[in-house]
Structure formats: structure tokens, C-alpha cells
Amino acid sequence: MDSAPDYARQKAADFIAQLNELLTIPSISTLAEHAPDVERAARWLVDDMRRIGLRAEIHRADGYLPLVYGEWLGAGADAPTVLVYGHYDVQPADIADGWGTPPFQPTQRDGRIYARGALDSKGHVIAHLKAVESLLATGDALCNIKLLFEGEEESGSAHIYQFVRDNRQRLQADVIVVSDGSMPDEKQPVLVYGLRGIIQFEMTVTGPARDLHSGHYGGNVHNPLQALTEIMAALHDERGRVTVPGFYDAVRPITAQERDVLDGMREWSEREWHAVTGAPATWGEPDYALHERSGARPTLEINGMAGGFFEKGFKTVIPHKAWAKFSCRLVPDQQPATIAGQVIDYIHALTPPTVRVEVTSDWRDAAPGVVLDYESPSMQACIRAYEQGWGVRPILTREGGSVPVVAVFAEVLDGDVVLMPFGYKGGGAHSTNEYIVIEMFHKGIQTALAFYDQFAALHSGAD
Ligand SMILES: [Zn+2]
């Protein structure tokens, strides 16, 4: 009988055809009228899971989009268990947005498949599903397998957190593989072991009861827009550090050893910075390299400010109100509730008696930052799996963005969490002409297979 990797190679064309089938379903979770399509995609996945030998069900509570869960526990109680998370819902897409071909008619050209969701994240879902098919069809499965595919990741993941808490026992696993996302190069895999959290703030500054004539009152009323910018400007010092008292107290420092590990990203991130930002010069804490600033340091960013007159022409007023939205990216071990309190207190302390300030935060829903142990046996198994699947040792990094579900898995479930992206960052996720590189899809399947292998070996070695 064939080995699982051989089976996957022989079935390559079938696997692509199945990916295309799923890609034709417009499972857009952010638009209510597509709820039946999300349902249809969930059905497709459950049917395929059952066909390849998993016990599978759709989970939904009233008014929410389905979660698909499948398991195969045939390796026995003593064997390790792998839980894989992915999502099969997608962002909206319309050919009028500038797509070269219809976004829900997968089109193959230049070694790529163009379709909404190809990269984010149906390519990941199918790669894992087909890896499992290869294992079960060849009798090669040495791990118990649990697959959890979400249908509302793109619309805010409102229910998966509760689902994970409510199904702690059922989802129990020795490792949780979160497979979504992308790498900055097709040939060089990058493994993310840290993600920043996020907390958001809204603020209004009011002064006079209504807009005032700037000639009559200019010079004796504190302009709310000016007061807002004065407060905002006081939130950083000239070295780019956040001035909020206590803001850095809980920040876990980067050790010398971790700096070495992260150094593999230096060139990549510098090159990317210059290619992507278009800004005239870098900015930020001078004691940290660019990839450290965005991966391992917390920030405070003004996301928007508004107020006053901004139409054509001029209106010489002192506006009565000004607004700002800002957010912080958090790193371990900063707690969203603590940071919210510190930021709000400091803004009140900065507020002069000449204006009134209201500032609120979403700290109850905010996500904390996470760092996964890059020395854990699970992560090492993942590194070896990429070496086999890609033929290159992956670079380890911490990323600036936030994937809240990772924090929930890490908090609620006992197993290690590892991130396993198969996509290319330039593949247009959320944008027009999204694509998956076909070779990366197949390498993804081989990497997943190698991971099961490595993970099983780890456990048989430990017994
Ligand atoms: Zn997405």
C-alpha cells in the first residue's frame, strides 16, 4: 500500500478539483444574504469529512453561522491527539472591484488558482482535510485527529470562544494547529510564535456649547481640536515610547537568546518595510530593530481624528467638538483591563480644565498578546515538518497582528498551540485577485503529513 505522502501526490489533481468546488461557494460571512452559502460550504465539508472516515457534525446556535467539527479517534487512547483549526468563510468579493476573473469561479493560471478564499483560508482547510484523507486512506494515521473549521472568522468570530469553552473536553488535544495566514516568500517558510493583542479606544473632546466665530472667541476659548492634538501628542515621547505611566510595567523583556532567534527576520522585515510602507524614514523605539518593534513591543496608534470644518473653502470656526479613535497593540503580559485603566487615567490627567474629555475602551472584548514556546517539542516538530514539506528550515518570528482565537486556545485548552501557514503574503487576502500558489498548497499537505509523523514520533519516543 502507498504511503500517505505518495497517496497525496497521486491525488494532487483530485485535491485541486475539490478545492475548486469549495471555492465556487460564496460563503461570505459578513453579508447576511450569504448565510445559506456559508451553510452550503459547511455541508460540503461535513460530507467530505464523513466520506474520508471522520465522525463529523455541524454545530450552530440560533442566529450564528455553523462551525464544522470532525474527529477520528482510531489511533487509540494512548496515541497523541492533534486538533486543527481553520476557517472556510470568506470576505466579500465582486468582479467590479477589479478582479481579472469572477471571484467565485476559480481560475488557474501561472501556477496559481485565483478565487476569493483561495488563500484566506479555504486552501488551508482543504490542505488539512486532504492530508487527513491521505492518512486514513493509507492506514498511516498514528495520531487521533480533530478538525474544527469556523464559518464566521471574517465576521468577528463571535461564537467560537464560547464554543471552545463549552467543549473543552471534546476539543482536548496534545497540540492545536492553527492554520491560516501567510509567509512573506513562497520558498522561505516563516513560523510565527508570537502575536500581539489589541485594545481599542474612542475619545471625544468638547469645549464650547456650539461652534464659535474664530474672530470673536479665538484666543479666549480652548479649541477642542487643539486640545485633542495636545493630549494625543503627549502620549509618546521624542524616542517613540508611550508615556502612559505603567504601560511597560508588565511587558515581558526580549532575552538575548530570543533576540538571536528573531534576528533571522531582520533582513526580511527591513526589505519588506521599504517595499511596502513608502514612508520617508523609519520611526520608533531606537533600541529595537524593526521586527522587534512590531513583534515584541507594545504600541499606541492614533487611528483617526476628526472635527471642525473640512469641506471645500473655509469656515473660520472654533469647533465645539473633536473625536479620536486610537488603539494599542499589546504584548505578553500586558492585561487589557489594566492597560485600559492606565490609558484612560492618564488622558484624564492630561486634560486641561478648559475642555471636557470622554474616553472609553472595549477592554472586555480586547485580545491579549500571546507568545508560544518556540522550544516546545510541538514547535520543534512543526519546524521539522516544514523542513520536510518545504525543503527549507523555517525562520521563527513574532508578528504584530492579532489572531484572538490563538489566545483562547492557549488559555482554555491544555495542548501546545502552533501556527501553520501555507499561503503567500502577496496573495491578495481580503483584496482583489486573491490567489493560492498551487505548489504551496501541495507543500502544505506534505507539511501537515510530516507534522503528524513528527508528532507521533515525539510521543512514542517519550513513552
Ligand atoms: Zn481573513
Find, among 22, 26, 15, 29, the residue nearest to 150 by Cα: 29
> How far is it, in rounded angstroms, from Cα 384 to Cα 455?
10
| CB-facing half-sphere around the CA of 331: CA atoms within 13 A | 22
The CATH architecture of the domain made up of 197-251+298-361 is: 2-Layer Sandwich (3.30)
For residue 140, the CA-to-ligand 1 centroid distance in Å is: 32
For residue 89, the CA-to-ligand 1 centroid distance in Å is: 9
Per-residue confidence at 461, pLDDT binned at 50, 70, 90?
low
For residue 183, the CA-to-ligand 1 centroid distance in Å is: 14
What would the grid cell of residue 252 be? 515581558
For residue 430, the CA-to-ligand 1 centroid distance in Å is: 6
Tell me what the mean pLDDT of segment 135-156 comes to: 95
pLDDT at 462 over 70: no
pLDDT at 241 over 50: yes
For residue 180, the CA-to-ligand 1 centroid distance in Å is: 8
> How much is the pLDDT for 230?
98
For residue 153, the CA-to-ligand 1 centroid distance in Å is: 7
Q: Where are the domains of the chain?
A: 4-195+369-462, 197-251+298-361
For residue 394, what is the DSSP state? P
Find, among 168, 192, 171, the residue nearest to 180 by Cα: 192
For residue 425, the CA-to-ligand 1 centroid distance in Å is: 12
Q: List, for residues 325-344, the tens digit of each pLDDT value.
A: 999 999 999 999 999 999 99
- Percent of the chain residues topping a pLDDT of 70: 99
Cell 460563503 belongs to 27
Q: List, for residues 156-211, the tens digit of each pLDDT value.
A: 888 899 999 999 999 999 999 999 988 888 999 999 999 999 999 999 999 999 99
> How much is the pLDDT for 223?
98
> How far is it, in rounded angstroms, from Cα 79 to Cα 456?
7
For residue 449, the CA-to-ligand 1 centroid distance in Å is: 25
Distance in Å from the first CA to the final CA of the chain: 28
For residue 349, the CA-to-ligand 1 centroid distance in Å is: 39
Model confidence, pTM: 0.88
Q: List, for residues 401-445, the tens digit of each pLDDT value.
A: 888 899 899 999 999 999 999 999 889 999 999 999 999 999 999
Q: What's the chain's average pLDDT?
A: 95
For residue 352, the CA-to-ligand 1 centroid distance in Å is: 42
For residue 313, the CA-to-ligand 1 centroid distance in Å is: 40
Angle at 92 between CA 86 and CA 94, to 5 degrees: 135
For residue 443, the CA-to-ligand 1 centroid distance in Å is: 21
For residue 166, the CA-to-ligand 1 centroid distance in Å is: 25
User: What is the sign, positive or negative, of the torsion defined by CA atoms of 139, 140, 146, 148?
Assistant: negative
pLDDT at 463 over 80: no
pLDDT at 137 over 80: yes
CATH fold of 4-195+369-462, please?
Aminopeptidase (3.40.630)
For residue 120, the CA-to-ligand 1 centroid distance in Å is: 5
Per-residue confidence at 373, pLDDT binned at 50, 70, 90?
very high
Provide φ and ψ at 431, rounded to 5°. -115, -170
> How much is the pLDDT for 80?
97
